[in-house]
Structure 1
Amino acid sequence: MFDWITGAIDSMGLFGVALFMFLENVFPPIPSELIMPLAGFNAARGDMNLITVIIAGSIGSLAGAQLWYEIGRRIGRQRIRALADRHGRWLTVSPDEFDQADHWFERHGGMAVLIGRLIPTVRTFISVPAGIARMGRVHFLLLSGIGTVAWTSLLAVLGYVLEGGYDAVSAWLDPVSTAVVVALIGAYLYRVATYGRRQRRKHPLDA
Structure 2
Amino acid sequence: MFEWVTNMVAAGGLAGVFALMVLENLFPPIPSELIMAAAGFSAARGEMSLPLLIVAAVAGTVAGNVVWYELGRWLGVERFRPLVARFGKWFAVEEEDLDRATDMLRRWGPVAICFGRMFPGVRTLISVPAGMVLIPRTVFYVWTSLGSAIWLTFLALAGFFLEEHYDKVEHWVEPLAWVVIGAAVGGYAVHLAYAFRRARRRRREQRQQG
- TM-score bracket relative to the smaller structure: 0.7 to 0.9
SS at match of 1:46: coil
1:12 corresponds in structure 2 to 12
1:54 corresponds in structure 2 to 54
2:191 corresponds in structure 1 to 191
Q: Distance in 2 between matches of 1:183 and 1:113?
A: 23
Q: Distance in 1 between matches of 2:152 and 2:5?
A: 16
Cα pair 2:34 2:173 within 8 Å, conserved: no
**Cα 1:122–1:204 shift into 2, 3 Å:** farther
Matched, 1:76 2:93: no
Cα pair 1:2 1:178 within 8 Å, conserved: no
Shift of residue 203 of structure 1? 7.2
- 1:90-127, CA deviations, whole angstroms, 9 ceiling, x for partnerless residues? 44433332222112112213222222223332221222
- 1:152-174, CA deviations, whole angstroms, 9 ceiling, x for partnerless residues? 11111111111111111112222
Aligned-pair identity in percent equals 43
**Cα 1:5–1:149 shift into 2, 3 Å:** same
1:116 corresponds in structure 2 to 116
Gaps of 5+ in 1: none
Structure 2 length as normaliser, TM-score? 0.87
Q: Distance in 1 between matches of 2:146 and 2:113?
A: 10
Aligned residues: 207
RMSD of aligned residue pairs (Cα, Å): 2.2
Gaps of 5+ in 2: none
1:22 corresponds in structure 2 to 22
**Cα 1:58–1:7 shift into 2, 3 Å:** same
- 1:131-161, CA deviations, whole angstroms, 9 ceiling, x for partnerless residues? 1222221222112211111111111111111
Matched, 1:171 2:185: no
Cα pair 1:117 1:144 within 8 Å, conserved: yes
Q: Distance in 2 between matches of 1:36 and 1:61?
A: 12
Q: Distance in 2 between matches of 1:17 and 1:28?
A: 14
Letter in 2 for 1:19: A
Letter in 1 for 2:38: L
Q: Bigger radius of gyration, 1 or 2?
A: 2
